[in-house]
Amino acid sequence: MQTKAFNELFPLFNTANPETLEWLLSVVVEHQYPADRAVLMEDAWGNAVYFIVSGWVKVRRLFGDNVFTLAILGKGDFFGEMAILDESPRSTDVIALTDVKLLSVSAQRFIQTLFKDPQLHHRMLQLMVRRLRQTNVRIQRRHQPPAVKLANTLIGLAENYGQPTSAGIQIFNFPHKDLADITDISVEDTAKIMEKLDSKGWIKIDPEHQILCLSNLKQLTHLASRG
């Protein structure tokens, strides 16, 4: 991958200097995983930072035999950065929702990069704070109606990772359990709301290609603003 393409794909590196990008590209390791494969096991956090070149992954928390999806991440995002700074054990793993291509940088080399490039360091802090704010917003929405919360989830995924097309913004057709977990509503409510949104024509689901298209963003945004 060329430095320009790397910079355009990952917002984290928007302010990084060219030397930083060239050095990172010289040390990254490429990974490819099929859907449903574990990308990062709970005992491997802290070894590297991972960057998503293509595909979708979910971060899960493990509670004995139960699992709960904490986040869904797509192309251009990254994970593993917090574990480099916090060495406490993690009962979480990362699973590929689709075929996924990743780049990884070892913890030691990534920390070296942050020290070399203060602009990159500052940019990473900005993105980490943004994630915390998104978590706070999600907590503030906990008393809103399920449909409002789910509309916000879909819009957030589309804004962060969606592919604009003439028919609308396309994202992956996520399992209802994952959408329910990250929205903090029941699977039953998720299924009913998705069916209703589909019947209204606000979303279109293509099960064969596992595509979910937000075909009426205006109406979804109006729904998301209620509550």
pLDDT of residue 4: 81
- How buried is residue 164: exposed, middle or buried, by Cβ count under 10 Å (0-12/13-18/19+)? exposed
pLDDT of residue 184: 94
Tokens of 219: 């109406």
pLDDT of residue 196: 97
CA distance 130 to 124: 10
- Asked, colleague to colleague, whether 3-139 and 143-224 share their fold, the answer is no
Fold (topology level) of 143-224: Arc Repressor Mutant, subunit A (1.10.10)
Helix (H) or strand (E) holding 21: helix 18-27
pLDDT of residue 89: 57
CA distance 28 to 44: 17
pLDDT of residue 192: 98
The letter for the amino acid at 192 is: K
pLDDT of residue 88: 59
Fold (topology level) of 3-139: Jelly Rolls (2.60.120)
Give the residue extent of every domain in the chain.
3-139, 143-224
pTM over 0.85: yes
Beta-strand (E) ranges in the chain? 29-33, 38-40, 48-54, 57-63, 66-73, 78-79, 92-96, 100-106, 163-165, 168-172, 203-206, 211-214
pLDDT of residue 139: 80
CA distance 225 to 147: 11
> pLDDT by residue for the chain (227 residues), tens digit each?
778 888 888 988 888 888 888 888 899 999 999 999 999 887 778 889 999 999 999 999 988 788 999 999 999 999 988 887 776 557 789 999 999 999 999 999 988 888 888 888 888 888 888 888 888 887 877 889 999 999 999 999 999 999 999 999 999 999 999 999 999 999 999 999 999 999 999 999 999 999 999 999 999 999 999 86
pLDDT of residue 135: 80
Tokens of 171: 């994202």
92-96 and 38-40 as β-strands: parallel, antiparallel, unpaired?
antiparallel
